[in-house]
Structure formats: structure tokens, C-alpha cells
Structure 1
Amino acid sequence: MIPKTMKAAVVRGPGKPLKIEEVPVKEPKGNEILVKVIASGVCHSDVHAALGEWDVPTLPLVIGHEAIGHVVALGPYVTSVKEGDVVGVPWLNRACGHCGYCASGHEVLCGDQDNSGFSVDGGHAEYVIADANYVGRFPKEGIDFYEMAPILCAGLTVYKGLKTSNLKPDDWVAISGVGGLGHLAIQYAKVMGYNVAAIDIADEKLDFAKENGADITVNAAKTDPWTFLQEKVGGVHAVVITAVENEAFKDSHKGLRRGGTITPLGIPDGSVEMPIGPTIMNEYTLRGSVIGNRQDLQEAIDLAVRGKVKTRVTKAKLEDLSDVLDKLKNGKIIGRMVLEISQPV
């Protein structure tokens, strides 16, 4: 039986502390489904939303956009999923479905979209509402819910970023930042046939990068990584930046081969500087990449389900979320934090 209320992580306004509150469980309408959350991954975007660093359009708000669980109720128009199915509720909660972006597979650019844990309530709760057309699909058996939750954002983000970085098998890609996104980026890159150079400022994380398949590593606190890459491999074909510090973006073009691509995925304050002359003469590309469409999502999930990609997970309770966010903001987490919301059935 579905309860009338649930525990949820609620943000009520900028500067106001995040609280675990008892809130109503909503009924699904139209093409919506109600998902009983088993696990919910914690993303750095949750830090921005919880601390008022982003202009959140909807308050109060339940944050979180990496929730996985069982479908327990259907809206009247739902035909694509059934009660008992295992689904994931990603950042892209819904889009309009009929604009030029949606029609061409670029629904992440739709001007009429809702985002989980940002414009609509997200998954750091016992139950979450989702659009049946936009959830990720998982098998009912044989999966680790906690390892799969981060694929819904972290995994999808790096997978799409790699796909759009103009790479081909046996190319070199530098993954800057070996955190929650970075360790998954290394694994996806290896599955896609690329050579990987991992960059970080902590030896512990560089050891972690090697465990995840990095071919070479460089500590940017001790060695200029871009000079190192030019000397070691003749430069890389792409730099994918998952770090959230401005320093990680500085001079990154200097590590590229001619025709190379920089794909920023981490979102710090500030801007990326690209010198016009070298950019033109060497045909560098600065390539924005935001999440991924539904096809990207399912591809990223399927690789993880097949065991090609494995998330390093540390579990925590919903009640510990504020402490988790603080650790995440200060770079004290290796891999990904995932909240234990309920037990799989």
C-alpha cells in the first residue's frame, strides 16, 4: 500500500538549510508514474541546488536526479511501463516532445523541459513522480541498485561527452578530474576503444584512475599536465574536463593535438579561455555537452548492466545528506555517494 506521506530532502529557499521533512506522496497524472525509490545517487549539482548557488525555479523543492526504484502506480495514459518495472529517474524529467530539438533527438535542448530536483521534485525521497517516456529502463533482476543509480547522471554525462568529442578508436583522451564523473569517464572511454590519460591533483585519485583502466596518469599539482601529454603521447585528441575547479580548465588547449576538442562537463564559476590565433590555426573545438538524450541514457545503462562499467559507491542514509553534500563540495569523496532509501523487493 502506498502511504500518504514520505520522507524527503527539501530545500525551501536560498541560504536555508536542507531538511529531511515529511511531505505528501503525489498521485501520478497523465503519462506520469510513481516510483518507490530504492537508491538515489548524490550529484555535485545537488550541492548547487541545496546551497542556493543556482537559481532554482521551484521552491520548496525535493532535490536529487539519480533515483532508481520500482514503479508502484501509473497515470491514466501510461502504456510504456508496468507496475513492478525497475526504472531510473534522470535529470531530464520530461520535455515537450514536439519541438525541433525533441523531434531531432536533442530533447536536452528543449525550451520546455522539466528537470528532476530542479524545476520538479526529485529523487532524494521515498517516492518520486516521473514521466514514463523519459525514464531509464533496467532489468528486474541481477542488478545492484546502488551501483546503477549514478549512471543516470554521472554515467550519462560522461558517456555523452565522450561521444561528442570527435574521437575514434585508439585516439588519446585526457580525463581531467578523477571523481564521481571521472572514474566513470575512464571506464566508458576504455569500452569505446580510447587510450586514457587521467589528470588530478591527488595521488590517491590517480591510483584510483589506474584501477579503473587509465593508461597513464599525471599529478597536475606536481607537473604541468599539458606539457607532459605533449611529451608523452604527442598531445591528446580530446580533453574531457569533469573537475569543478577553474584551474582544471586553464591552458587545457595546450595539451591538444591539432584538430583536438575540449569538452567541459564540470561546471565551476567563470569561463574557459581559448586563444583565438591557435584555435583557428590548429582547428581546436570547444564542445559543450549537457547530459544526453534518451538513447544515450539507455546505451549508458546497458553498458553498466553488462558489467562493462562499474561505479565505486559509498552508501549513506537520507538523514546524512547534508554531511554528504559538505564532503562532496570539499572534494572528500572518491567515487560516488548513493543514498539508501529503501530495500529492493
Structure 2
Amino acid sequence: MKKTMKAAVLHKIGDKLRIEQVPVPEPRRGDVLIKVTACGVCHSDLHAIDGDWSPLPNLPLIPGHEAAGHIVGLGEGVSDLKVGDAVGVPWMYSACGQCEFCFAGMETICKAGEASGYTKPGGYAEYMVADAAFVARLPKNADFYQLAPILCAGVTTYRGLKRTNARPGQWVAVVGIGGLGHIAVQYAKAMGYRVAAVDVADEKLRLAKKLGAELAVNGREKNAPQVLQDKIGGVHGAIVTAVAPQAFEQAIAMLRPAGTVCYIGLPGGDKDAIRASISAITNWELSVRGSNVGTRLDLAEAVAFATNGLVTARIKKVPLEQVNAIFDQMRAGKILGRMVLKLA
């Protein structure tokens, strides 16, 4: 009889996940089989379940792209990993390695790329298969619960900060201090930036200050762009991890001349549009960029920051059976930090 495992499965877009017993997957050539210990819950998982993006995810779907655990099986041809190794699985399941984007170090936008927990089964399960060439190598004694959010929230904000082109000593704004934002503040501080945090919740702003932000502005109570312009002359770079369209619009106004804003958060659905001042962007030579997760090099660097103690996710461990309740909290904006599922 084939071995089974517990998994959270989506059968229909918009439905709740079902906790089921499903067959343990088998690694094919180039794959590894991972016994999952922890898997972070990302807002992208909610977008997948609610059907906010096109194309829709492959159904039935096991979500999850912040999975960490140990290798328990090797597919044919895998020689640089072994059973017992500690690894993590990010959103980028694989890329072709042969297109112009892969050759240019931009594998994050490979058109043939696959996504963990979206086009491929993810980590809301006791076991999962991953492409051996794209897993993160983790330390032998790694705390999988702490490192799980680094595999998406960490690498995504780290790459986004780099793409602002800000230099150490310059100001960056982190707009939205949630699961991604509270990690972004720490990366920004560790990278030598001066950090301004913007959110609409005082509790999140207090956390940002505790994590190293010099300025904290409540955008609900004050005109955040004006505050940053008046106090520091605007920021050199900004990243938006929030999901409210207004945050994306305001972030442009937070920039000083020649500044760059990098969009990371994804509103989804019919909210995925903003209005921006073309004259302001042109006259002040501002740059607006997108940033999509991170390359394998970004992932290795982001993990190194965390394993060296420079970045620590604020987490809460929860059983897999509570995953639907977590999504309800996420929709209501009531999560501070990151939720991590306990699989083993």
C-alpha cells in the first residue's frame, strides 16, 4: 500500500482548505523528497486560494512556499545533496536556465518558471517534492520555524531593497509593517540603511521602531509623504509591502529627487491598479520598479543574514488544522509578524 501523508488541499477556488490524507509524492529525476517540519503562511497563498491572479493555480492544490525540513529521498541524477540535509523551498520552484532572463541573472521572470504551492504542490503537507537545483541550503542545526519566513518574506524584501539602488547611509522607507515589512526593516538596518516605517497601525509601528526604524509614521493620522519630505527631505528608496493601492501611490510621493520605489506587495483582484503623477515622475527623474521574489543567489544571501542573527522573523507556530482560521485573520489584517504551520 502506498504511503500517505496529511496535507491541506484546495479543490475549488474560494473554498476552504481541506485537511486530507493524500499519497506521499515520489521524487523524479533532479528532485528531492523533503519531510516538512515548518511552512510559513504567506499572503500570496491567500491570493492563490481566492483566485486573485491569472492564470489560476493548478487544482487540486497544496499551497505553501516557505517550507523547511530535511531531505528523505533523492531522485535520479541528484549528486550535490544527500539524505538528511536541511533545505528550504521558496516560491521559485524552478526556471528553465536557458532563456535570456536566466542568462542575465533574472531567473525570477523566466517565462517557463514554476511556482511552489501554485503550479506545483507546496509545503502545507508532511512531505513535498522540490527541484534540487532550486532549494535553499540551510545549516544543519537550523531552526526551521524561524527560517521558513525568510524563504519568501525574507528573500523578497531583501531583493526589493537592493533594487531601490539605495546605498548604505541613505534613507529607505518600508511601507507596510506586516509579515514582509517587519522583516524588511531588519534587512534594511543590517544593510546599512536609515529606515523610515509607514503603516496605519500603531502596534506595527512600535514593532518597527523596536526593530531599528528611526522614523515611524502613521499614514492614517498624518500625511506620510509630507512628513517624510519635511523631516528628511524624502527617502532615497522605498519598498511597498502593503496591499492597499493608496500605499503604492503615496510611496512615489515619499521619494526625494532621483529616488526609486520598488513594489513588492500584491493587492490582487480589481484593486490591482494605481494612479501616479507622470509629471512628478518625469520632472524629478523618479523610478518605479517591480520586484518578484528572488534569485537563488538572493536566497542564499538572505538566508545568510538570518543565520548570522541579523534578521529574525517574529513568528507564531500553529497546527496545520488552523490554516483556514489564519486566512480569516489575514483577510482582517489582524496578524502581526508571520504565522508558521507545524507539520512535524
The two structures have a TM-score, normalised by structure 1, of 0.96
8 Å Cα contact 2:90/2:136 also seen in 1: yes
**Secondary structure in structure 1 of the residue aligned to 2:292:** coil
Question: Which is further off, 151-160 or 45-54?
Answer: 45-54
Mapping for residues 155-194 of structure 1, pairs under 5 Å: 155-194=154-193
Point out the more displaced range, 206-215 or 2-11.
Answer: 2-11
Q: Does 1:89 align with 2:89?
A: yes
Structure 1 position 236, deviation (Å) = 0.6
Kept in 2: contact 1:94–1:134 (CA 8 A): yes
CA contact (8 A) 1:80 1:133 kept: no
Count of residue correspondences: 340
Measured in 2, the distance between the counterparts of 1:3 and 1:27 equals: 11
Are residue 59 (structure 1) and residue 59 (structure 2) matched?
yes
Task: Give the letter aligned to residue 196 of structure 1.
Answer: V
SS of corresponding position for 1:283: coil
Q: CA deviation at 1:3?
A: 7.0
Contact 2:154 2:302 in 1 (8 A): yes
Q: Deviations over 1:5-42 (max 9, x none)?
A: 11111111213321111111111010000000000000
Equivalent position to 1:287, from 280, 286, 289: 289
Per-residue deviation, 1:232: 0.7
Which residue does 2:71 correspond to in 1?
Answer: 71
Cα separation, 2, equivalents of 1:310 and 1:148: 8
> Secondary structure, in 3 states, of the residue corresponding to 1:257?
strand
Q: Give the unaligned 5+ runs of structure 2.
A: none
Q: Kindly indicate whether the alpha-carbon contact (under 8 Å) linking 2:238 and 2:261 is maintained by their aligned counterparts in 1.
A: yes
| Superposition map of 1:119-198 within 5 A | 119-141=119-141, 143-198=142-197
For 1:329, which of 328, 331, 334 is the aligned residue? 331
Q: Cα distance, 1:104 vs. partner? A: 2.0
Mapped partners of 1:258, 1:51: distance in 2: 39
* Aligned-partner SS, 2:198: strand
RMSD, aligned α-carbons: 1.2
Q: By how many angstroms is 1:99 displaced? A: 1.4
Question: In the alignment, is residue 340 of structure 1 matched against residue 342 of structure 2?
Answer: yes
Corresponding residue for residue 224 of structure 1: 223
* Distance (Å, rounded) in 1 between the aligned partners of 2:178 and 2:241: 8
Judge which range, 199-208 or 273-282, deviates more: 273-282
User: In the alignment, which residue of structure 2 is the partner of 1:240?
Assistant: 239
Structure 1 pair 188–3 and aligned structure 2 pair: CA distance change class (3 A): farther
Structure 1 residue identity aligned to 2:242: A
Report the 3-state secondary structure (helix = DSSP H, G, I; strand = E; otherwise coil) of the residue aligned with 1:13: coil
Report deviation, 1:254: 1.8
- The one-character-per-residue Cα deviations of 1:192-227 (angstroms, maximum 9, x if unpaired) are 100000001111111010111101101111110000
Q: What's the counterpart of residue 46 of structure 1?
A: 45
C-alpha separation in 2, matches of 1:3 and 1:172: 56
Moved over 3 A (4+): none
Q: Which residue of 1 aligns with 2:210?
A: 211
> Partner of 2:276 in structure 1?
274
Measure, in 2, the Cα distance between the counterparts of 1:3 and 1:175: 48
Structure 1: runs of 5 or more not aligned: none
Give the match for residue 320 of structure 2. Answer: 318
| Identical pairs, percent | 49
In the alignment, residue 130 of structure 2 is paired with which amino acid?
Answer: A
Match of 1:180, SS?
Answer: coil
Superposed CA deviations along residues 123-161 of structure 1, whole A, max 9, x for unmatched, are 0100010000000011111x2211100000000100000
